[in-house]
Chain A
């Protein structure tokens, strides 16, 4: 039976992983994701799950160990943050190209320097193009849901790709929230046993991660890209199954009070919850503003976005990372590219907010909406604005 339990979200992520009975967990601690593998190591040590917890010497080794374990047919999990994810970077595109369904939680944190342990999205944005399925949670319940869904999506025969679940460092990882946990039986009904496509085994010889010459590389990359693009069908299918079994709906882009909205905010991650408060306040003031929460980052939900922005005059895209020297933040650049040439495309403005743990309040979003509302009359001078930065 499903039970409601109050718990730190990082611990809840570990509990959700345990419900999926992984065979191998390899991780190296780095704030703010540390409590996830720490709690998993407790669960393994207490004998609650029959898994190997590999204490590695680095994140590079953590993902390499997961890569090897997954190739051997194990259900594998890892977690990291910030520089840890960057240390995994070399292995990231290898895991996806080898079509190994490793699941990873990323407690999103700013990249150094200056050293900063707090939240923003510069870590995952640096790994955007590595071929992983990438989802963003906006609260603890979504973390629990996305972990369990994650294994099912990643291991699906029509997908076979690694998947990362992004949860904002501290704002989510260290917050205590009451969450619904399905019981073991319910999880097993939802999540089938992992049946690998091929495994490295002496009796059934297969080579993985071999040399690809120029005459095959285009085709190999196209196949990988199409694997990720086609995974969307399965993601939507798994989310529908989830809703049927557990009653909680998940969508690539979640719309909040968007009826008749002139101005739309688009957020990623936990700031979406704060933005809801701002939208309620603005609606009380009869300001037609709405909110789009982007949950599915890769594969990018192009059609859903085009549909969701229809009718809006201004779209204000929130980014939690800077693409230094670029034309927009990473999310906004993606959004602009997706909407380019679309008839009736709204004016798109970009605010970079909440870098390195800087507080993001409902009042910030109210001011952003009020500012953005003028953008269809008067174009902002700069392509993007780091909101709240001191100095003019």
Chain B
């Protein structure tokens, strides 16, 4: 029952590919898939939290001042937050 990051050989594969380290999906940074990033204009934000509710990745959180931020380690750039934000506080910026 080892918790190796990736088995080097088939003999090292856990029986039934069981995973004994719960939550290890967070080690996989899906932010590298992104081609656009959400940029918040907090002057338009009404702190409704609809971006937080709709984010399929669950990577948006609220900061100390009540504004919302996306964790770019996991944000895939789908743009749902920008689509749902009705005051138009989020724009999707092309990654360089």
Q: Which residues of A contact B (CB under 8 A)?
A: 97-100, 160, 197-198, 205-210, 212, 215-216, 218-220, 222-223, 226
Return the chain A residue nearest B7 by Cβ: A219
Q: Are A210 and B17 in contact (CB under 8 A)?
A: yes
Q: Are A223 and B13 in contact (CB under 8 A)?
A: yes
- A198-B1, A205-B22, A207-B22 known; A216 and B13 CB under 8 Å? yes
Residues 14-57 of B, flagged 1 when their CB comes within 8 A of A and 0 if not, give 01111110100000000000000000000000000000000000
User: Is residue B94 contacting chain A, with contact meaning CB distance below 8 A?
Assistant: no
Q: Which residues of B contact A (CB under 8 A)?
A: 1, 6-7, 9-13, 15-20, 22
Q: Are A226 and B17 in contact (CB under 8 A)?
A: no
Instruction: Write out the residue numbers on chain B whose beta carbons fall within 8 Å of the beta carbon of A218.
Output: 10
Main secondary structure of the interface of A (DSSP, over half): loop
Return the chain B residue nearest A217 by Cβ: B17
Instruction: Write out the residue numbers on chain B whose beta carbons fall within 8 Å of the beta carbon of A198.
Output: 1, 15, 18, 20
| A98 CA / B22 CA spacing, docked (Å) | 17
| A215 CA / B9 CA spacing, docked (Å) | 11
Taking the closest CB of chain A, its distance from the CB of B34, in whole angstroms, is 18
- A198-B1, A215-B6 known; A220 and B13 CB under 8 Å? yes
| A222 CA / B17 CA spacing, docked (Å) | 12
Q: Are A98 and B10 in contact (CB under 8 A)?
A: no
Taking the closest CB of chain B, its distance from the CB of A308, in whole angstroms, is 31
Return the chain B residue nearest A100 by Cβ: B16
| A210 CA / B25 CA spacing, docked (Å) | 10
Instruction: Write out the residue numbers on chain B whose beta carbons fall within 8 Å of the beta carbon of A223.
Output: 10-11, 13, 17
Provide 26 A-B residue pairs closer than 8 Å at the C-beta atoms, listed in order of the A residue.
A97-B16, A98-B16, A98-B17, A98-B18, A99-B15, A160-B15, A198-B1, A198-B18, A198-B20, A205-B20, A206-B18, A206-B20, A207-B22, A208-B16, A208-B18, A210-B17, A210-B19, A215-B6, A216-B17, A219-B13, A220-B17, A222-B10, A222-B13, A223-B10, A223-B11, A223-B17
Instruction: Write out the residue numbers on chain B whose beta carbons fall within 8 Å of the beta carbon of A212.
Output: 17
Instruction: Write out the residue numbers on chain B whose beta carbons fall within 8 Å of the beta carbon of A208.
Output: 16, 18-19
| A208 CA / B20 CA spacing, docked (Å) | 9
Instruction: Write out the residue numbers on chain B whose beta carbons fall within 8 Å of the beta carbon of A197.
Output: 15-16
Instruction: Write out the residue numbers on chain A whose beta carbons fall within 8 Å of the beta carbon of B15.
Output: 99, 160, 197-198
- A99-B15, A99-B16, A207-B22 known; A226 and B6 CB under 8 Å? no
